[in-house]
Amino acid sequence: MILPWLILIPFIGGLLCWLVERFDQTLPRWIALLTMSLLFGLGLWLWATGDYSLAPAPDAGANWAVEFKYVWIERFGINLHLALDGLSLLMVLLTGLLGVLSVLCSWKEIQRHVGFFHLNLMWILGGVVGVFLSLDLFLFFLFWEMMLVPMYFLIALWGHSSSEGKRSRINAATKFFIYTQASGLVMLVAILGLVLVHYHDSGVLTFDYALLLDAQLDPAIEYLLMLGFFIAFAVKFPIVPLHAWLPHAHAQAPTAGSVDLAGILLKTAAYGMIRFALPLFPNASVDFAPIAMVLGLVGIFYGALLSFAQTDIKRLVAYSSISHMGFVLIGIYSGSELALQGAVVLMIAHGLSAAALFILCGQLYERLHTRDMREMGGLWSRLRWLPALSLFFAAASLGLPGTGNFVGEFVVLFGAFERMPWIVVIATFGVVLASIYSLAMVHRAHFGPAKAQGALPGMDARELGMILLLAVLLVLLGVYPQPVFDTTQASMNGVQQWITTALSPLASIR
Amino acid sequence: MELTQQHFIALLPLLLASATLVTVMLAIAWRRSHGLSFVLSAIGLTAALLSIPMARESGVAGVTSLLLLDDFAYFHSALILVSTLACMTLAHAYLGEKPGADGFPGNREELYLLLTLSATGGMVLVSAQHLAALFVGLELLSVPVYGLVAYAFFSRRSLEAGIKYMVLSAAGSAFLLFGMALLYAESGTLAFTGIGASLATHLASPLVQTGVVMMLIGLAFKLSLVPFHLWTPDVYEGAPAPVSAFLATASKVAVFAVLLRLYLMSPATGDGWLTDALTVIAIASILGGNLLALNQSNLKRLLGYSSIAHFGYLLVALIASNGFAVEAVGVYLVTYVLTSLGAFGVVTLMSSPYNGRDADALYEYRGLFWRRPYLTAVLTVMMLSLAGIPLTAGFIGKFYIITTGVESQLWWLLGALIIGSAIGLYYYLRVMVTLYLVEPGIRRHDAPQDWGQRAGGIMLMAIVILALFLGVYPQPLLELAQQAGFAAL
């Protein structure tokens, strides 16, 4: 029974935030903080007590650490089917943690309609948790689409307008919504195709993950259905020709929106690939893997180059996300267990480091009221703590050993090398580019001659606490990543087995 | 054919609606009273609605060779009655309590009479199994609507819309009648099944093809499918808001139901050219409707264009006509009716009581959330439902349509549907975000403070709750639609 509560807690908390707004302006913040702490706490409790050696695998079938099932729409064989394994648990933990941080980082930034803001924030996080737990494809799609609406409001109503005019945040929000919703419909068509093919073969109409895993698919159909899923995930990932919404959405979103977008929403796409696209369509995924990995390479270099060219500090971080997610994509499609685990570590590490960078950008904006790096410069002398911490996270983002990002990238490249040496060799150069744009960011914003005189207000305990917490976690992940590896080992092993089974007939032909 | 008691029980909803009609007419002749004629017609139609479960038990399907009263007919009759009742409730708020200082300056009572008359026509139409019943039903449905659209005849826009609708609708009827005559010339019968049976043999004759095409044109006029949609935005804009709601819901439901029945019972679908023609019309309606809605700054026009697109989506299920199709049409119509009633309901309450023009310009809704949060919540849910976002009823409808499309492998139509939905999102979101924008100044129209306590407000709340409930737990609706679907096949 704990799984539905993980989803319900944010939704109920969000409603409460809205209802108490009329009594007090600070109360919603405390309720939201409590809600997210509860979610995070429950996640930690599950981690401490659960047995994560159970995970779906081809021969063992779908077994889970925790499972919940309830009949919902009988007509189509749709169930409220939730389940948890190591991978979903880590993602839920990340959601809880970043949820707490996004409430904290909006404490001063958001002053208008506080209750409604937190309603949207909580509902995004509730939807994301739903995505990480659902095992019924209908339910998964439902949550996948549902988190868009509050995100839309978050960007459209509390976002920053750029110099282009007042409507830019609404345009950014609309662009985000249309991109993700349209690609979602493609996925819905693919889901229905899969369900109906299974229905014609077996006579059972079902949306259940465990049953659909056994569907016998014609290779051509399998490839098409896999593409349907891939397109939806590619938009949110984002993979390079489908990334156009990301920089706009990030630049105009409030800090909490950017934190959730980069930290969690992008991860739902990677999660979807690992959980659904690979196990449901193993043969087609193996065929498609070289293309996906090349797309990953394109993402790494394109993101890095464009990141370097930005003058808006939030857009810089946004493009760097595209670059980092390229590594994740290579890890996912490399078909090696090690690389898959590396991809998960990298997802978590990027979630933490990107969140920290966006929070730092938000704090800079609160002080300077600009995100343009041409108007910054020399901040090191005017501002305590913040430039130094920025340097730390920039270093983490470029993959400095000792941080989680290094472990993630290293394990991805190490694991993928065996099967795809050339791709790995080229991807390694992306790491060099990462150091260029990361250091350029710090240099342009914090070093050089000061553009104005006078000290800026330093960081208060709340701001410093958030950033230090993230820094500590990132270093912990870099120095001792073993707990993460242990937790996801069984899940990744299962995914890897699916790919190996798909590979073996190919191998025997050779 | 001898009519027994059982037949009369099967006809009960129709008979009750007709009795209501006569009663309301006599009551108006006796003494004009806005409240009385509203109450009488509402009670009458409610009684007709409640008699449907009883009528279903009667066990007779065909009453004379004209009407076929099966679950399909009852399902759509119920839908028509519910939407008519909702439009009446909205009209009551819209016209205003009593003549005099505020509210509608003309006579109010006949509006209910015309609505009841039109609803009766719709019920005949959805039960038709004979071209004569089809034509009688269709005219009974549309002729009162001429009067309804021009009800505010002292306003230029309303009168203009009424005349425009009358001319084009009459032209549509003429096409339909000519088409029927041609079919009759070839097959020698007017019953749907008879036509189907005789056409199965000589389908390719040019006379039949011309006849089928002309009938299709006639019905497409009423459904405002592209390229027969030109009247839609003007009529929706000019008609009083509750009448627009009626046009968008009850009137279209009835026509689409009969189109579906005709399509299923007369296998003119055999060799594919009709399917191709419908596919082109569907794609044109989806893309045309959505593209034309993009830049509308008038909410009623925008909803008019959006309804063109929605009937394009519905055609996908019609073309698929596989196991799920009838069910899908039923579910989609319910969700669409619910959503349109909600959206037009908000426009109506914003314009109530009548004061010369409706509050239909988009800027009048700017920042409504900070003045009328609950009313805004209604419109937001309706916009999301029209856009087909999960957890609203609209998503269940769209889900069903996509299922039928995938089942029949109509990839072109599905492609159009996805592109159309993406375009549609833009204007639905535009309306939605307008409601939340904080703008000082302009507040020309505003719903009365106590709108939530009145009948119209309570009904809107019920609609929004139902739209969310069906989005979360659609099982009851699916079962109902499934029964109606089995009956039609």
Taking the C-alpha atoms of residue A47 and residue A87, their distance in angstroms, rounded to an integer, is 11
Asked if the Cβ–Cβ distance from A157 to B436 is below 8 Å, we say: yes
**Percentage of the residues of chain A whose pLDDT score is greater than 90:** 49
Tell me how close the Cα of B218 comes to any Cα of chain A, in angstroms.
33
Asked if the Cβ–Cβ distance from A189 to B402 is below 8 Å, we say: yes
Q: Which residues of A touch B474 (CB under 8 A)?
A: 73
Taking the C-alpha atoms of residue A5 and residue A11, their distance in angstroms, rounded to an integer, is 10
* Contact partners, residue B248, CB within 8 Å, separation at least 6: B236, B303, B304, B307, B340, B344
Taking the C-alpha atoms of residue B370 and residue B376, their distance in angstroms, rounded to an integer, is 9
Helix (H, G, I), strand (E, B) or coil at A215: coil
What token pair was written down for B8? 């009369």
Taking the C-alpha atoms of residue A341 and residue A481, their distance in angstroms, rounded to an integer, is 11
Better-scored residue on pLDDT, B357 or A128: A128
pLDDT value at residue B174:
94
Q: From A73, which residue of chain B is nearest by alpha-carbon distance?
A: B475
Does the pLDDT value for residue A510 go beyond 60? Answer: no
What token pair was written down for B467? 């739209």
pLDDT value at residue A350:
93
Q: From A145, which residue of chain B is nearest by alpha-carbon distance?
A: B390
Q: What is the pLDDT of residues A428-477, one digit of tens each?
A: 988 889 999 999 888 888 888 887 777 788 888 888 999 999 999 999 99
Q: How does residue A506 score in pLDDT terms, banded at 50, 70 and 90? A: low
Model confidence, pTM: 0.91
**Testing the interface with A: which of B371, B381, B406 to mutate, by most A Cβ within 10 A?**
B406
Tell me how close the Cα of A192 comes to any Cα of chain B, in angstroms.
6
Asked if the Cβ–Cβ distance from B389 to A188 is below 8 Å, we say: no
Is residue A319 within 8 A of residue A306, CB to CB? The reply is yes
Q: From B478, which residue of chain A is nearest by alpha-carbon distance?
A: A75
Q: Which residues of A touch B405 (CB under 8 A)?
A: 189
Terminal alpha carbon distance of chain B: 25
Asked if the Cβ–Cβ distance from B422 to A149 is below 8 Å, we say: no
Asked if the Cβ–Cβ distance from B426 to A196 is below 8 Å, we say: no
Does the pLDDT value for residue B184 go beyond 60? Answer: yes
Q: How does residue B443 score in pLDDT terms, banded at 50, 70 and 90? A: low
Is residue A154 within 8 A of residue A253, CB to CB? The reply is yes
Cβ-count burial of A305 within 10 angstroms (0-12 exposed, 13-18 middle, 19+ buried)? Answer: middle
Range A493-499 average pLDDT: 86
Asked if the Cβ–Cβ distance from A156 to B433 is below 8 Å, we say: yes
pLDDT value at residue A508:
46
Q: From B402, which residue of chain A is nearest by alpha-carbon distance?
A: A189
pLDDT value at residue B269:
54
Which residues make beta-bridge pairs with B130?
B191
Range B339-360 average pLDDT: 86
Q: What is the pLDDT of residues B379-405, one digit of tens each?
A: 999 999 999 988 899 999 999 999 999
Q: How does residue B453 score in pLDDT terms, banded at 50, 70 and 90? A: low
pLDDT value at residue A509:
47
Which stretches of chain B sit within 8 Å of chain A by CB?
Answer: 384, 387, 389-391, 395, 399, 402-403, 405-407, 414, 417-419, 421-422, 425-426, 429-430, 433, 436, 438, 473-475, 478-479, 482
Taking the C-alpha atoms of residue B434 and residue A413, their distance in angstroms, rounded to an integer, is 48
Range A23-27 average pLDDT: 85
Q: What is the pLDDT of residues A243-265, one digit of tens each?
A: 889 988 988 899 999 999 988 99
Q: Which residues of A touch B417 (CB under 8 A)?
A: 185
- Interior CA angle at A107 toward A374 and A360, to 5°? 30
Tell me how close the Cα of B479 comes to any Cα of chain A, in angstroms.
8
Cβ-count burial of B101 within 10 angstroms (0-12 exposed, 13-18 middle, 19+ buried)? Answer: exposed
pLDDT value at residue B137:
94
Q: What is the pLDDT of residues A323-333, one digit of tens each?
A: 999 999 999 99
How many Cβ pairs closer than 8 A exist between chain A and B? 76
Q: What is the pLDDT of residues A52-99, one digit of tens each?
A: 887 777 776 667 888 888 888 888 888 899 988 889 999 999 999 999
Q: If you search the block for the tokens 């979903």, which residue do you land on?
A: A88
From the list B35, B49, B146, the residue with the least C-alpha distance to B91 is B35
Taking the C-alpha atoms of residue A60 and residue A138, their distance in angstroms, rounded to an integer, is 24
Does the pLDDT value for residue B143 go beyond 90? Answer: yes
**Percentage of the residues of chain A whose pLDDT score is greater than 70:** 97
Asked if the Cβ–Cβ distance from B407 to A142 is below 8 Å, we say: no
Q: How does residue A50 score in pLDDT terms, banded at 50, 70 and 90? A: confident
Q: What's the count of helices (H) and strands (E) in chain A, helices before strands?
A: 22, 2
Helix (H, G, I), strand (E, B) or coil at A253: coil
pLDDT value at residue B202:
65
What token pair was written down for B307? 């309804």
Q: Which residues of B touch A146 (CB under 8 A)?
A: 389-391
Q: From A192, which residue of chain B is nearest by alpha-carbon distance?
A: B403
pLDDT value at residue A124:
94
Measure CA A185 to chain center: 20
Please tell me the least confidently modeled range out of A1-5, B99-103, B333-337, B363-367: B99-103
Q: From B414, which residue of chain A is nearest by alpha-carbon distance?
A: A189
**Testing the interface with B: which of A21, A181, A196, A207 to mutate, by most B Cβ within 10 A?**
A181
Instruction: Indicate the average pLDDT of chain B.
Output: 87
So what's the ipTM on this one? Answer: 0.88
Instruction: Indicate the average pLDDT of chain A.
Output: 88
Asked if the Cβ–Cβ distance from A73 to B436 is below 8 Å, we say: no
In one-letter notation, the amino acid at residue B202 is H
Range B322-346 average pLDDT: 90
Q: Which residues of B touch A186 (CB under 8 A)?
A: 418
Q: Spell A63-89 as b/e; 16+ CB within 10 A means b.
A: bbbbbbeeebbebbbbbbbbbbbbbbb
Asked if the Cβ–Cβ distance from B425 to A141 is below 8 Å, we say: no
What token pair was written down for A282? 């193993």
Q: From B410, which residue of chain A is nearest by alpha-carbon distance?
A: A189
Which residues make beta-bridge pairs with A78?
A73
Whole-number Cα distances in Å, B278 to A451, B168, B204, B266: 66, 21, 17, 15
